[in-house]
Structure 1
């Protein structure tokens, strides 16, 4: 078991490292030039990572399939967002869809 001091030191070190990474970006931006192809690939990589995060969150719960209610709610939310509905409407429609399907007995 770690002591409280170890936890504080570890938190401070992680905080300092995070700050250093965030500070290095703007400082090194003018000194490091990426090729245009690498910048395009990084842009695509961001979209792919976000899509993977959404898919993982929408489809799984504790390393197993979350059931059809959650993906249906995400699909309704995505449809509302695609139709340019206000954010509150997107969230409420997704939550209402998931809740209604679970109320009807769908896991």
Structure 2
């Protein structure tokens, strides 16, 4: 199986799940328990993505410029800074650390 065939099969599978979502009755979607699970699942998936993308590289845990940048983003999020400011400040901090300390 080639890479492109795998990508096409995965894309078709994901799109089919999206289409099947339209067939779910509204009574299921309006259930408060289902709504709460969906909200918590979103947060859990985003936290996992942050952990994988922010703390790992080459299949292992790495401590580099991303860690202080994530810390700065957390502080700015706590201070309710605008999203654009948070992203720009974190990117600038990571770039400065890499400029001065390498990596």
TM-score by length of 2: 0.71
Q: How many residues align?
A: 102
- Gap change, CA 1:16 and 1:68, over 3 Å in 2: closer
Rg larger in structure:
1
Instruction: Provide the residue aligned with 1:103 in structure 2.
Output: 99
Say whether the 8 Å CA contact 1:80–1:90 is kept in structure 2.
yes
Structure 2: segments with no counterpart, 5+ residues: none
Distance 1:64 1:106 in 2: 19
Structure 1: segments with no counterpart, 5+ residues: none
How large is the Cα RMSD of the aligned pairs?
Answer: 3.0
Distance 1:89 1:33 in 2: 35
Distance 2:102 2:11 in 1: 43
TM-score by length of 1: 0.68
